[in-house]
Structure 1
Amino acid sequence: MQEFSIQDSLNGIIDKLGGWLDSLVLNLPNFILAVLVFIAFIFIAKYVGKLFDRITKNQIKQDSIRMITIKVIKAIVILIGFFIALGLLNLDKVLTSVLAGAGVVGLAIGLALQGTLNNTFSGLILSFLPEIQIGDWVETNGYAGSVTEINLRNIVIKQSDNNYVIIPNSKIVEEPFKNFSSTTRSRVFVNCGVGYESDLEMVRDLTLDVISDLFPQRGNEEVEFLYNEFGDSSINFVVRFWTDATKNRDLLVAQNKAIIAIKKAYDNKDINIPFPIRTINFTNELSLNKAKG
């Protein structure tokens, strides 16, 4: 009875192995085709990465962002090839399980790294935006400086005091920012005031001549002079003009030159630039002195 049982077990194993062998022989063409497809997608991923690198080399100046983006694209292409290979092997259940598992894992990773992924996608957006590039002088989130680095987590700004500020990419995408380097010409504002005894028309013409000679205007640009306030001790005005400026320091330099030139011109014409004066009257006698008298 025992010998019969062992013999039946051996026959069952042999039949099972035979069935597997037959299945392997029948599916061998599909297996070879699946392997070839997967290898082909590996080469396709390699060439797609090179093509993307060639296309975006001038658009994405930050090498770290470009290289990581290329790796992500390669991984996506290889995964597509992997799923196609599983389909050729008729492993639909395995493919469904892999996709379901990938969805669950992706959801868990997305929830755990929500802030990091937000900064990563913001970094990819910033890398393609022409409005902000490495070397630009920007003002954002209360900081101003030159952009020295853009990566997948943050941008690095070098301020005028030589200190570096690291700002998360999501803050740059969500908050407004001012880019001084996006235009080569900027308008400068200089505020001043003259005494009430001044000839206002003469002050206006003199100021316009001084600024026009110091800062030549182009095209439709012009120097503008406008009185805007009767102050406590002066009649105040603002003069506006255009100059070459790609960072905040250029505006400060232009204001400095304009103020020096205006002061010299006013001194030569005896034009008074008053400052607030407080007058204390000592003519009234104190009540104490009156009592003594």
Structure 2
Amino acid sequence: MEELEQLPFVSLLLGEVQAYLSDIGSAAPRLAAGLLLILVTWLVARLGRALVARVADKAKLRRNLRDVLTMLTGLCLWLGGLLITITLIFPTVTPGKALTTLGLGSIAIGFAFKDVFENFLAGLLILWREPFQIGDHIALEANDVEGQVEQITVRDSRIRRTDGQMIVVPNALLFQQPVIVRTNRDIRRTSIIVGVAYDEDVDQAREIIQGAVAEVDSVRSDVRAVQVFAKAFGASSIDFEVAWWTGSRPVDIRASRDQVVASIKRALDEANIEIPFPYRTLVFKDQGEAERFHPSEAGRPPDL
């Protein structure tokens, strides 16, 4: 054994091991203090998350927003605790150096995960500002996206279309693009076009249409009056634009239109006001072409 210890590389290795063990022995108090500090950090982070969750519940914040705030609180407390622990165990690492290293690493991570952080920040702003809520019917006309909001997370939002399909939309898109919230209010205006024949009385037709629409149960005439305006001279009719207010959900709009169309049709039929079919006038160059479309009284079928 003594001969081995006299070898240069063996003596060098033993010296390194002894120095390493000596360093561990001298660092043992710092390691113990670091472990204790990690335990304290865990307790503080847990208490901090519980406190934030309680405050969020009292403020009646969304559940998703409450979860995000508690997560960020725990993350910040853990980050501060680990930073103090590192400076305690390694005295040569100052808080300034640690923050500098963390900042450079954050920049690199930010460039690598730019889209992820963009959606995350957009999700936080959406949850905080609440431009729309779960259950609202929204539409992004520029992207042909429309449906009911089922879930809002910090990365994306889940939108259920009226045909049952699910659309997962990144939050950055919802934050940057114009979003139409169709159910922001309990009522919404809708309209249809109704045409009556040219030989009918316009004022009488307007009154009959307005009365027929006001009688429909789904029409909120108590909130806003039914509006009927003569809009245009159509190809075979005077066209009226009929506007009324009803429920804001898509199913409310469809059901109300069905009831309104049926009510207007019954009222105009009872008043003997014609809803004309489209008329077409055909001009022929000679009598032969006219006879092809207008056979003689003998009942000869048209020669087509």
Both structures adopt the same fold (TM-score exceeding 0.5): yes
- The CA deviation at 1:172 is 0.5
Q: What is the SS of the residue equivalent to 1:135?
A: coil
| 1:181 maps to which of 176, 183, 208 | 183
- The CA deviation at 1:119 is 0.9
- The CA deviation at 1:33 is 8.2
Counterpart position of 2:222: 218
Q: What is the SS of the residue equivalent to 1:259?
A: helix
Specify whether residues 154 and 216 from structure 1 end up closer, same or farther in structure 2 by C-alpha distance, changes over 3 A only: closer
Counterpart position of 2:97: 97
Counterpart position of 2:164: 162
Distance 2:185 2:52 in 1: 29
Distance 1:152 1:104 in 2: 25
- Check whether the contact 1:135–1:148 (CA below 8 A) recurs between aligned residues: yes
Counterpart position of 2:116: 116
Distance 2:208 2:123 in 1: 51
Counterpart position of 2:231: 228
CA deviations on 1:181-203 (whole Å, 9 max, x unpaired) are: 22111112121111111111111
Unaligned runs of 5+ in 2: 1-18, 290-304
Percent identical pairs in the alignment equals 24
Unaligned runs of 5+ in 1: 1-15, 288-293
Counterpart position of 1:150: 152
- The CA deviation at 1:88 is 7.3
Distance 2:262 2:148 in 1: 28
- Check whether the contact 1:155–1:168 (CA below 8 A) recurs between aligned residues: yes
Q: What is the SS of the residue equivalent to 2:146?
A: strand
Counterpart position of 1:239: 242
Where relative contact order (Cα < 8 A, 6+ residues apart) is larger, the structure is 1
Counterpart position of 1:106: 106
- The CA deviation at 1:232 is 1.8
- The number of residues matched between the two structures is 267
Distance 2:31 2:116 in 1: 40
Distance 2:91 2:274 in 1: 92
Calculate the TM-score normalised by the size of structure 1.
0.78
Counterpart position of 1:255: 257
Distance 1:174 1:20 in 2: 56
- The CA deviation at 1:152 is 2.4
Distance 1:158 1:89 in 2: 52
- The CA deviation at 1:82 is 3.9
Distance 2:101 2:277 in 1: 76
Q: What is the SS of the residue equivalent to 1:71?
A: helix
- The CA deviation at 1:209 is 1.1
Counterpart position of 2:81: 81
Distance 2:226 2:277 in 1: 25
Counterpart position of 1:280: 282
CA deviations on 1:61-96 (whole Å, 9 max, x unpaired) are: 34xx64454233212122223445667789474322
Letter in 2 for 1:223: V
Larger deviation, residues 44-53 vs 183-192: 44-53
- Check whether the contact 2:235–2:279 (CA below 8 A) recurs between aligned residues: no
Larger deviation, residues 48-57 vs 174-183: 48-57
- The CA deviation at 1:31 is 9.2
Query: Aligned Cα RMSD in Å?
Result: 3.3
Letter in 1 for 2:231: N
